[in-house]
Structure 1
């Protein structure tokens, strides 16, 4: 997987989170993730077209609640109920929509699937597609952007 493809997801994540929450997210590290690693909350979105695979934006539940609160104008969030889950899921949808636009500008036609918020998930993909994971850190916590995609023949 080429680094410039991953960079589209990271830039989209940083830009959308800054725009929607005012939080700057800095890249802490990037590594190849083992499929058995587990996360608390993940917004999972598929890609199809000239790039195919799966992406996830993962975080611990307290951070998801903080992000939802910020996105809902500061409304207190004491648990992930349906409305706060919807806010966090929409954040993932906006990040992947932005990433799809950046990829299109780089010459890749891709569509994204409907996002799903999944709790206590381990992202898995086929053995021939590695999961490239990047941890981004901001003032209120860390998120992990996981990308497992492959280029399809044009």
Structure 2
């Protein structure tokens, strides 16, 4: 695991969130932690293949997801995690990862990303506990998005 692997995803997440939700996120402390799926969270898992292999996992509490999608919809109040909410969060993960893969390409790394896999239940996540590079992004008045990089 190399710390520089998280930087393109962090840079991309800040840019995309600022564009689609009109909020400027700030990065927390980079760390290594065990990936633990907790309930009442939405997880977006995106696979990375090519010169980097592994997964990028974006995690956010359901209440944060509702506020984030509301911001993405120009302030329209979203009150439940429905198919539209899931689609918006999945697309956010896709946009962040797509932009990050462009940044990686410009750095000389060729990677492909898989379509986002959204999971709401720890039991359904389907991968074993691992250590991940992680960094939280705090969005004012919205909450925290956790970026976890499991790349080999």
Task: Say yes or no: TM over 0.5.
Answer: yes
Name the structure where strand makes up a greater proportion of residues.
1
Residue 148, structure 1, aligned to residue 147, structure 2:
no
Structure 1 residue 5 and structure 2 residue 5: aligned? yes
Kindly report structure 1 stretches of 4+ aligned residues shifted beyond 6 Å.
Answer: none
Secondary structure, aligned partner of 1:56: strand
Q: Hey, what does 2:23 align to over in structure 1?
A: 23
- If the length of structure 2 is used for normalisation, what is the TM-score? 0.89
- What's the C-alpha RMSD, in Å, of the aligned pairs? 1.8
Decide whether the 8 Å contact of 1:54 with 1:125 is kept in 2. no
Query: Counterpart in 2 of 1:113?
Result: 114
Partner of 1:86: 87
* SS across alignment from 1:114: coil
- TM-score, structure 1 length as denominator? 0.88
From the superposition, tell whether residues 84 and 35 of structure 1 become closer, same or farther in structure 2 (CA, over 3 Å): closer
Give unpaired runs (5+ residues) of structure 2: none
